[in-house]
């Protein structure tokens, strides 16, 4: 017969209230300022050792991922690495897991990744190219974060993925970032 340690076993009410608390945190994230809401969300989904590919320059986001022990690989200009290292120094975290790629073609050496961040883009063609590249790199069960769903191009991709059975919308953050889980 198995022995259950009741001191650490969650009560029935705790298990019942857990999804409700998660929905409340999610609702607050949807309305709060983007930086704080994104930091809160990354605290839940980013785990040490995960690999993240960022398509588009997002220096603050790179630092936020690095702060959680994630391997961050942005596709950005070389000067972006210096900026991320400076932000990490201000935050008190290490930038040792940062690897910057000069262009999207070189990022293939990052291999399969757990999360892909698609930054705001100036055109639908650039967003489509970034999405195709993300599809080739993102593992099944991985997370696709799309910044700029409040813009015309971001809305287009958001609507397409919302109706696609291979993707599940996990959350929208501050009305500007959508988090989709790849199901197949």
pTM: 0.77
Convert the pLDDT of each residue in 85-120 to its tens digit. Answer: 888 888 888 888 888 777 776 666 667 889 888 888
What's 140's domain CATH number?
A: 3.40.50.150
If you average pLDDT over residues 167-184, what whole number do you get? 88
Question: Comparing 10 with 70, which gets the higher pLDDT?
Answer: 70
The torsion angles phi and psi of 82, rounded to 5 degrees, stand at -65, -40
pLDDT at 153 over 80: yes
Residue 63 lies in a domain: yes
Closest CA to 125 of 164, 159, 153, 163: 153
Structure confidence at residue 144 (pLDDT): 92
What Rg, from alpha-carbon coordinates, does the chain have? Answer: 18
The domain total for the chain is: 1
The per-residue pLDDT of the chain, averaged, comes to 79
Contact (CB, 8 A) for 52 and 65:
yes
pLDDT at 13 over 70: no
Residue 153 lies in a domain: no
Residue 54 lies in a domain: yes
SS3 132: helix
Residue 91 lies in a domain: yes
DSSP 112: S
What residues contact residue 20 under an 8 Å CB cut-off, 6+ apart?
none
Residue 31 lies in a domain: no
Closest CA to 65 of 93, 90, 100, 28: 93
Rounded CA-CA distance 47/176 in Å is: 23
SS3 172: strand
Residue 79 lies in a domain: yes
Residue 22 lies in a domain: no
Length of the chain: 184
Domain extent, residue 64, equals 45-144
Residue 175 lies in a domain: no
Task: Estimate to the nearest angstrom the gap between the alpha carbon of 44 and the chain centroid.
Answer: 10
Q: Is the dihedral of CA 140, 142, 148, 150 positive or negative?
A: positive
């Amino acid at each position: 017969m198995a022995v259950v340690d009741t001191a650490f076993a969650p009560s029935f009410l705790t298990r019942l209230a857990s999804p409700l608390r998660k929905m409340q945190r999610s609702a607050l994230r949807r309305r709060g300022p983007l930086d704080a809401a994104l930091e809160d969300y990354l605290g839940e989904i980013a785990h040490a050792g995960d690999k993240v590919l960022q398509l588009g320059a997002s220096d603050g986001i790179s630092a936020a991922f690095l702060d959680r022990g994630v391997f961050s690989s942005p596709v950005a200009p070389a000067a972006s690495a210096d900026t991320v290292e400076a932000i990490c120094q201000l935050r008190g975290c290490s930038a040792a897991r940062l690897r910057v790629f000069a262009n999207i073609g070189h990022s293939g050496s990052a291999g399969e990744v757990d999360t892909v961040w698609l930054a705001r883009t100036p055109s639908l063609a650039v967003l489509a190219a970034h999405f195709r590249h993300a599809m080739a790199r993102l593992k099944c069960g991985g997370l696709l974060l799309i910044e700029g769903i409040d813009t015309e191009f971001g809305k287009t991709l958001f609507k397409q993925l919302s109706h696609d059975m291979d993707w599940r919308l996990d959350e929208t953050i501050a009305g500007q970032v959508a988090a989709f889980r790849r199901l197949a």
